[in-house]
Amino acid sequence: MRKPIIAGNWKANLTLREAATLIHQLKGSCDTDAADVVVCPPFTALAAVAPLLKGSRIALGAQDVFWEAAGAFTGEVTPPMLVDVGCRYAIVGHSERRTQFGESDEVVRRKLQAALAHGLTPIVCIGETLAQREAAQTLDVLTRQLDGALGGSPPDICRRLILAYEPVWAIGTGKHATPEQAQEAHRAIRQWVADRCGPEAGAAIRIQYGGSVTAANAAGLLQQPDVDGALVGGASLKAEAFGAIIKAAAGTGAASPP
């Protein structure tokens, strides 16, 4: 049984006061053991949100992480700092980092290695652009990104991370992948993991879908056999919508095949 995992990526949103209000509202809707729930506030809010999560089942995650542990790297936030503030997860390779901040597969690889070395669970994002999908390159792109991020690592790496399939054309656009499109990509990703890390790792790895997930479309996506959760941007800023997505995941989780 793969437990679904729902993560909220708040991106560059919410002041400390707004973050506290959202956490307060969320705590009521996240009291389930049938899905793992993570919130990823901006760096400025991590230290304020961490104590608010005490006594709840919601885990703390960061939206990014640097690859070195400490030093003269102005503006960066390192894995030990994130662990120190209470993070358990770190998003790595989000398409907004790749496209707007020039992060290469090699940067993604270094960041996820650093996260793992310090006990964080990386949520590694991969996904194709619209042009790549229209050119029928989706599976090639996913393979290239997986090779770039994970290739060369010992096979047990696949047991220690979460993958997120996030088609770039679906992020923040209101256009989500159809359940069939998501399932096709997720099945291919799982097959890559099985080939690279062994069939047990392939069966065990959790693969989130991300891209305009809402309360309305979550159930259809999460019911797909290879979709194990969601990485949620915009809808994670609204307690009601995020709570409904968690409920949908908890419902499908109970029925998920092993």
* Residue 63 touching ligand PEP (CB under 6 A): no
Nearest to 179 by CA among 236, 242, 226, 232: 226
3-state SS, residue 228: coil
Torsion of CA 36, 101, 165, 203, to 10 degrees: -70
**Is 106 designated active site?**
no
Among 35, 150, 177, 232, binds ligand PEP (CB under 6 A): 232
Q: Is the distance from CB of 92 to CB of 63 less than 8 angstroms?
A: no
Does position 237 interact with ligand PEP (CB under 6 A)? The reply is no
Binding track, positions 5-24, relative to ligand PEP; x by CB under 6 A: ----x-x-------------
How many residues bind ligand PEP, per CB under 6 A? 15
Q: Quick one: tokens of 110?
A: 């270094």
CA distance 148 to 106: 6
Stretch that binds ligand PEP, among 23-31, 76-84, 131-139, 228-236 (CB under 6 A): 228-236
Active site residue 94: yes
CA distance 95 to 231: 12
Integer angstrom CA distances of residue 77 from 5, 108, 216: 24, 15, 35
Q: Say how many C-beta atoms besides its own lie within 10 A of residue 124's C-beta.
A: 24
Choices 25-33, 52-60, 231-239, 247-255; region in contact with ligand PEP by CB under 6 A: 231-239
String marking each residue 181-220 x if it binds ligand PEP according to CB under 6 A? -----------------------------xxxx-------
Task: Return d(Cα 174, Cα 172) in angstroms, integer.
Answer: 6
Residues 108-147: x/- map of binding to ligand PEP (CB under 6 A)? ----------------------------------------
Q: Return the SS3 of 235.
A: helix
Compute the least distance from the CB of residue 39 to ligand PEP, in Å.
13
Taking the complex as a whole, how short is the minimal distance between the CB of residue 66 and ligand PEP, in angstroms? 20
Binder to ligand PEP among 127, 229, 233, 253 (CB under 6 A)? 233
Q: How far apart are CA 180 and CA 200, in angstroms?
A: 24
Among the options 96, 103, 128, 166, which is catalytic? Answer: 166
| Torsion sign, CA atoms 117, 52, 71, 64 | positive
Q: Residue 183 or 212: which CB sits closer to ligand PEP? A: 212
Contact status: 167 vs ligand PEP (CB under 6 A): no
Burial of 231 (0-12, 13-18, 19+ CB in 10 A): buried
Smallest separation, CB 209 to ligand PEP (Å): 9
Q: Enumerate the active-site residues.
A: 94, 166
What are the residues binding ligand PEP (CB under 6 A)?
Answer: 9, 11, 94, 166, 171-172, 210-213, 231-235
